[in-house]
Amino acid sequence: MGAPLGIDTGGGGGGLVDTSRNNRVKSALFKGALLFSLGIGFVTLIALLVNVASDGLSRLSWDFITSFPSSIPSHAGIQSPIVGTIYLMGLVALFAIPVGVGAAIYLEEYADRDRWYNRAIEVNIQNLAAVPSIVYGILGLAFLVRGLALGRVLLAGALILTLLVLPIVIISAREAIRAVPASIREGALALGATRWQMIRRQVLPAAVPGIATGSILALSRAIGETAPLILIGALTFVPFNPDGLSSPFTALPIQIFNWTTRPQDEFKLLAAAAIIVLLVLLLTMNAFAIWIRNRYQRKW
């Protein structure tokens, strides 16, 4: 803290010697305040983790992961929620990444920003990223479950989570595409490449690390979403794995939500154990995203 020479800019006539105790006190106080803000977030997180771990670790076992939910706490497990979550993530990735990257390519490479409709789309996407997830749940219920009569099935859940994360995928893919320098684009075009050849063979490959990172972070947002799934009616007690797109399903956050609402203490412990599993999944995904980013980071 503080430069060794302590250059006094306060004009106290001290030259290079720090004579202003006042400035030093101020900057120490400011640093302290910043540390305190950081501490609040950090301590809360640690407290939560410790609390969950102390409750849940005792119930965490291979049996817990491989068993189906049950009304008898000692037999209950989370196989079907885990499988449901994996199915959901797979489908969301399948739907959201191609559509999101496609939209990002359009906006970055083709859209003429002087056109009002392109600007309207841009503003909309920014806003959609901030819409609360429960609103997406209502949309899903009205439009997918009832309007398209999909019913309360895996496909409806996956589609609604896709809509939820699509703006995030688009925004992060745009950033990644924009980060590819213009000189690469010019180099490709100058060789007689068409615009699509330039995008397909130079811009997209160079943007893949950024797109992958953004997509994984978007998926890790989707994996923890509960509200929209509850709203469209994912079942809270599903003692079987989904067997297709039109199968009823559950997911980890829903199972956790269900268990925490039960009065019995045993279920609270189960919920804590399931939270640990969900956290491990989440942290793994985020770590993978960070790894990709560092591994393929490029200086232009």
Interface with another protein (CB under 8 A): 112, 114, 181, 183-184, 186-194, 197, 201-202, 205-206, 298
Closest residue by Cα to residue 95 from 161, 162, 143:
162
Least distance between another protein and beta carbon 75 (Å): 55
**Smallest distance from the beta carbon of 288 to another protein, in angstroms?**
22
Q: Shortest gap between Cβ of 107 and another protein (angstroms)?
A: 15
Burial grade of 68 (CB within 10 A; 0-12, 13-18, 19 or more): middle
Q: Given the complex with another protein, which of 121 and 235 has the nearer CB atom?
A: 121
CA-based nearest residue to 241, from 90, 82, 77: 82
Q: Which is nearer to another protein, 89 or 206 (CB)?
A: 206
User: For another protein, which is the closer residue by CB, 36 or 117?
Assistant: 117
C-beta of 212: minimal distance to another protein in Å?
16
Which residue number, 11 or 114, has a Cβ lying nearer to another protein?
114
Distance CA 77, CA 252 (A): 11
Distances (CA, A) of 26 to 8, 14, 96, 265: 13, 18, 49, 50
CB nearer to another protein: pick between 56 and 210: 210
Residue with tokens 């083709």: 110
Cα 38 vs. chain centroid, distance in angstroms? 21
Residue number, 63 or 186, with CB nearest to another protein: 186
Contact between 177 and 102 (Cβ < 8 Å): no
By C-beta, is 72 or 112 nearer to another protein? 112
Minimal distance in Å, beta carbon 259 to another protein?
49
Task: Give the whole-angstrom CA distance, residue 263 versus residue 101.
Answer: 45
> CB of 248: closest distance to another protein in angstroms?
47
Does residue 285 contact residue 216 with C-beta atoms inside 8 Å? yes
How far is C-alpha 233 from the geometric centre of its chain's CA atoms?
Answer: 22
The three-class DSSP label of residue 231 is helix
Q: In the bound complex, what is the minimum distance in angstroms from residue 182's beta carbon to another protein?
A: 9
Closest separation between CB of residue 202 and another protein, Å? 6
Query: Based on C-alpha coordinates, what's the Rg of the chain?
Result: 25
The Cα–Cα gap between 177 and 298 comes to 13
CB nearer to another protein: give 198 or 272.
198
Q: How is residue 114 annotated by DSSP?
A: T
